[in-house]
Structure 1
Amino acid sequence: MTGIGAAMTLLAVTPVMANAGPASPTGTEFIVKFRDGVAARSDALAANGLRVVGEVSVGAVLVSPTKALDTTTALAALRARGDVEYAEVNGTMHADLTPNDPMYPQQWHYYEAAAGARVDTAWDSGLTGAGVRVAVIDTGRTAHTELNANYLGGYDMISNAAAARDGNARDNNAQDQGDWQAAGECGAGTPARNSSWHGTHVAGTIAALRGNAAGVAGVAPAAKIVPVRVLGRCGGSFADIIDGITWASGGVVAGVPNNPNPARVLNMSLGGSGACPASLQAAITAANNRGSAVVVSAGNSNVNASNATPANCNGVITVAASDRQGNRAVYSNFGATVEITAPGGETSPAASGGVLSTLNAGTTVPAAQSYAFYQGTSMAAPHVAGVVALMQHKKLAAGVALLTPAQVTARLRARAMPGSCVGGCGIGLLDARASVAAA
């Protein structure tokens, strides 16, 4: 989506086949064990066109090619090194974990080789985001069978009753009342448009139910969504957004009850132009200090994200968008402030090139639940937020401290996939499986 309201604006394993031939030389992974006392040697790997994407419990590392390689030649070169104990192809076992959600096959952005975020293989870890709360700071919530069980609390932080369209100002009802607008209503020359139900789409990518034989699947299908409504008619004010960040992360907002469900992951698929305001930066810094990772969209203006906020604020994970081929999407902002790129899709020339998620069918006020393909950095960011929820679930399951925001960013970047996205796409493309392995 574009504009201020959209961009700011059980495991069954089949037997391994005996005498199986070598895997395809392109994209094959290897398990490499260096001899005792020798750390994973980056020079040994780089010299053979490989990079570490994870660890194996036996003291080995999982590595992946950075370019097309011949499997036999690559293995021979690794095995010839005196510091390598063994190197072998990372063969496959097939887990019966493909969701039975009927629209999942259309969610290319989770599994396709070219630009999918490898969410499907991250699920093989058994992690679902359970116990993790993700705040979606956006247009609010709508009723949807894919999301109702995962909504937790929330708040309407819009202070202007006209913008909120609910007859009052701030309250504890985060229901999305619709953000439709008439031509010129939000400034001279602004076009008429229907309600976007943007927050519902974002929430579905993060935590739509999986395995319920309905609709789509979310990246972290057991995470809880804390909806914080800050965008209404004609977008949202900095003040409301700042208070939304503070409240969502467990801070105190005058006149508002404290949040009983503070989130360790905040998703803000929203943006505007200009430098990062000091007040907004202060809210983000405080959220980081409370332990919340803040994921934001880079923006949809095909400009340097240094001129888009909150993408240019410190302490955020700025996410650019890739198309179905792994290139930077034509609309996506770019630049040095981008940390990572995730699937945002392109709905032209075919809608199926967009990101499929939950929606509402109402053109103005809420109506029946639905699904739709959208495009935008707004769609890219929740892929990252969902993966962060999986990473934090791993820590919860192990009974150890959660990752700090800085650790989250470092692990996402360390395990990103190189790809065809160039020109300010951050470190590379989001790799859900490798990021979870590194958590």
Structure 2
Amino acid sequence: MLARGIDSETLARRLGTDPDVEYAVVDRRVRPLAVPNDPLHTLGGADGPAVGQWYLRTSAAPSLSAIDATRAWDITQGSAGVVVAVLDTGVRFDHPDLAGKLLAGYDFVSTLPESNDGTGRDSNASDPGDWITQQEDNSLGGDFYHCTTPDSLGNYNGAPSSWHGTQVSGILGALTNNGVGMAGAGWNTRVLPVRVLGKCGGYVSDVVIGMRWAAGLVVPNVAANPNPARVLNLSLGTVGACGEYQDAVDDVVAAGALVVAAAGNTNGHAVGAPGNCSGVMAVGGLRHSGTKVGFSDLGSAVSISAPAGNCVNGFGPCLYPLLTTTDSGAQGPASSTYTDGTNNITVGTSFSAPLVSGVAALMLAVQPTLTPDEIRSLIQGGSRRFPTSSAPACTAPRFDGNGDPIDQDECDCTTATCGAGMLDAYAAVRSAAAGLIADIVVNTPTPRAGQDVSLTADVFRLINGRNLSSLSWSLVDGGGIVSGSVAGCSTNCVVTPSGSGTFTVAVTVTDDNNPPTQSTVSRRVTVAAASSGGGGGGGGGALGLGYLGALLVAVIAARHLQRRPRSAV
């Protein structure tokens, strides 16, 4: 039916009110899905993997953790106006599958040994290589003494260049649908390389300055960034608390940029910094089947999980790596190439993070005014539930009698350990495009066991002319401390957890559009133990000069010994 002077949606609603009309909807044009023609998207090269870029396809057995970028691309193929900063080892600007996708960037590596380019900080974000020779690895007192991981015999053998930033950039923003190489999750998204890592990693002081510059904030003695990023990807980390990262994260988020970080790869330990900072979207790693991959870290700091690559078999080709761009040089750059399933295998939460960053960029392409919190809410709310298998359930990070962390290999994810669910690009982008966004506000300042926890559903974005038609609550994961149903809750909901831990609730909102638009948001709530009712210890008092001196020494030592961030491969 055609009509003049009225839009299709309004006409359908009017017709739907006629008792003689069974239903009336807009007859929408159907087009083929946006499948890129990049050959490696479908099938790996001579060295595999045979499944190509399995992680971008629609979720289906056996690749349950695939992110369904294909259907997301049918909504949007991204925008060159959306910039994602990759804070990493720099990038190989000469890789043909990154041509036209890379902005100029900046090199913030301040120390000459680590920079490996002889210049320190400058406007050249190119990656010269980060190899460590065997001699450097065993030179007592040298800058790179015991930098690498020893082999089974305890020997330090050095390591070739990782080209880590080039690999991360490819997964996020490889040139797509050009009939060459691979596809990038963000399709048309542009990449801003910010070099903060060099030989043997880097320093937090360089990373936090790079973060501020990437988001368009003022950095002394550095020219302003002409292309501020809306998303910052940090596939790097270090063991320990958030510390000096937090101020930078707060500033970046206030500037309107989402911070995405890898959860880390220490075999199921607690997430380190910056993934454990407040306001950071930490990304855990999944096997193709949807279980936690053995190397991925976990815990309450994880916001979402995404494919990290896994080989399945202990021998022969790696079956499910994350294929991406790289360089063939063992030390300095040689020739542009791709990782594979045989000789150059890419796995790690470093490569889960840019999948989330790419999806965030697609969302910003359809709704440029989204805030970091809104992006997080939509990604988490649209995530798919974790599957179950014969593996044990993941638990919170544990420690042995000596206080050392206990490894957790493959396990079944829960929302308390692996975030809200498995990344679903299509659901996240669809929700962003719909313009219907909700949030769950935890009104109780410090939720405690045995006490009521007050929650409120808040709809804070609704396209003009539409009204909210329904709102429903669901208990996603009671965490063993919340049971029963929350379906009877209205805008406000009160639950009483029986113990400490975490539980996850979700709210689904629907508008009165025809057909209706629906959006789901989830919220994980951390519950502390019941209050003992006792008062705290004595007052603060002043710190003696001896303590302050020891603290200063500790801070200086931490700068050199404990706070060197490494790529999260």
- Which residue of the partner structure matches residue 7 of structure 1? none
Partner of 1:296: 261
Aligned length: 349
Q: Which amino acid aligns with 1:312?
A: N
The residue aligned with 2:83 is: 133
Counterpart residue type for residue 290 of structure 1? A
Give the whole-Å Cα distance in 1 for the aligned partners of 2:223 and 2:160.
Answer: 32
Higher RCO (Cα < 8 Å, 6 or more apart) = 1
Alignment of 1:215-364 (within 5 A): 215-277=181-243, 279-306=244-271, 308-347=272-311, 349=313, 350-364=317-331
Match of 2:413 among 397, 406, 422: 422
2:77·2:187 contact (CA, 8 Å) conserved in 1?
no
Which residue, out of 378, 385, 403, partners 2:357? 385
Matched AA of 1:225: V
Counterpart of 1:104?
41
Preserved CA contact (<8 Å) 2:34 2:71: no
Match of 1:122 among 72, 80, 90: 72
Match of 1:158 in 2: 109
> Could you tell me how far 1:96 is from its partner in structure 2?
4.9
What CA distance in whole angstroms lies between the structure 1 residues aligned with 2:33 and 2:263? 36
> What are the Cα deviations for residues 238-284 of structure 1, in whole angstroms up to 9, with x where unaligned?
0010111011011122221111111010000001101111x211001
Pick the structure with greater CA Rg.
Answer: 2
> Residue 131 of structure 1: CA displacement?
1.1
Structure 2 counterpart of 1:289, one-letter code:
A
**Aligned-pair CA distance for 1:348:** 5.1
2:123 aligned to which of 158, 165, 172: 172
1:93/1:116 CA distance change after superposition, 3 Å: farther
> 2:323 is paired with a residue of what secondary structure?
strand
In structure 2, the residue matched to 1:181 is 132
Counterpart code for 1:403 = L
Q: Which residue of 2 aligns with 1:77?
A: none
Give the secondary structure class of the aligned counterpart of 2:191.
Answer: strand
Kindly provide the amino acid, as one letter, of the partner of residue 335 in structure 2. Answer: A
| Unpaired runs of at least 5, structure 1 | 1-56, 61-84, 397-401
TM-score by length of 1: 0.76
Alignment RMSD, CA only? 2.2
- The range that moved more, 348-357 or 169-178, is 348-357
Question: Alpha-carbon deviation of 1:425?
Answer: 1.0
Residues 189/104 of structure 1: CA separation in 2 closer, same or farther (3 Å cut) = closer
The answer as to whether partners of 1:100 and 1:212 remain within 8 angstroms in 2 is yes
Residue 146 (structure 1) aligns with = 97
Structure 2 vs 1, CA of residues 416 and 194 (structure 1 numbering), >3 Å: closer, same or farther? Answer: same
Decide whether the 8 Å contact of 1:305 with 1:338 is kept in 2: no
Q: Which amino acid aligns with 1:140?
A: G
Cα distance in 2, alignment partners of residues 233 and 403 from structure 1: 37
- For residues 232 and 99 of structure 2, the distance between their equivalents in structure 1, rounded to whole angstroms, comes to 19
**Aligned-pair distance for 1:126?**
3.0
Q: Which residue of 1 aligns with 2:332?
A: 365
Deviation at 1:102, TM superposition (A): 0.6
CA–CA distance in 2 between the matches of 1:93 and 1:377? 36
Match of 2:164 among 173, 195, 198: 198
Q: Indicate the SS of the match to 2:130.
A: coil
Instruction: For 1:405 and 1:166, locate their aligned partners in 2 and report how far apart those are by CA, in whole Å.
Output: 35
- Alpha-carbon contact 2:99-2:175 (below 8 Å) kept: no
Q: In the aligned structure 1, how far is the partner of 2:297 from the partner of 2:159?
A: 23
Tell me the SS of whatever aligns to 2:194: strand
Amino acid at match of 1:188: H
Counterpart of 2:555 in structure 1 is none
Question: Aligned partners of 1:229, 1:130: CA distance in 2, in Å?
Answer: 21
Looking at secondary structure, tell me which structure has more helix per residue: 1
How far did 1:304 drift? 3.5
Q: Does 1:407 align with 2:374?
A: yes
Give the C-alpha shift of residue 94 in structure 1.
6.3
1:427 aligned partner, one-letter code: A
Deviation for aligned residue 1:395? 1.5
The amino acid of 2:37's aligned partner reads N
In structure 2, C-alpha distance between the alignment counterparts of 1:123 and 1:188, rounded to whole Å: 45
Q: Give CA-to-partner distance per residue, 1:399-435, whole Å, 9 cap, x none.
A: xxx2111111111111100022514111100000000
* TM-score, L = length of structure 2: 0.59
Cα distance in 2 for residues equivalent to 1:201 and 1:98: 22
Give secondary structure in 2 for the equivalent of 1:317.
strand
CA-CA distance at 1:188 after TM superposition: 3.0
> Which amino acid counterpart does residue 431 of structure 1 have in structure 2?
D
Q: How far apart are the structure 1 equivalents of 2:31 and 2:284?
A: 32
Residue 129 of structure 1 deviates from its aligned partner by 3.3
Q: 1:198 to 1:348 in 2, by over 3 A?
A: farther
Opposite residue 178 of structure 1, the aligned amino acid is G
Distance 1:389 1:303 in 2: 29
Structure 1 residues 90-116: Cα deviation after superposition (integer angstroms, max 9, x where no partner): xx9661522111100100001142110
Counterpart AA for 2:123:
N
On the 8 A contact 1:127/1:394 being kept in 2, the answer is no
Deviations 1:275-322 (A, max 9, x none): 111x2110011000000000000000123434x111110110000011
Q: Describe the SS at the equivalent of 2:193.
A: strand
The answer for the alignment partner of 2:465 in structure 1 is none
* C-alpha distance in 2 between matches for 1:295 and 1:268: 6
Query: What amino acid is aligned across from residue 318 of structure 2 in structure 1?
Result: A
Whole-Å separation in 2 of the counterparts to 1:264 and 1:178: 27
Amino acid at match of 2:357: A
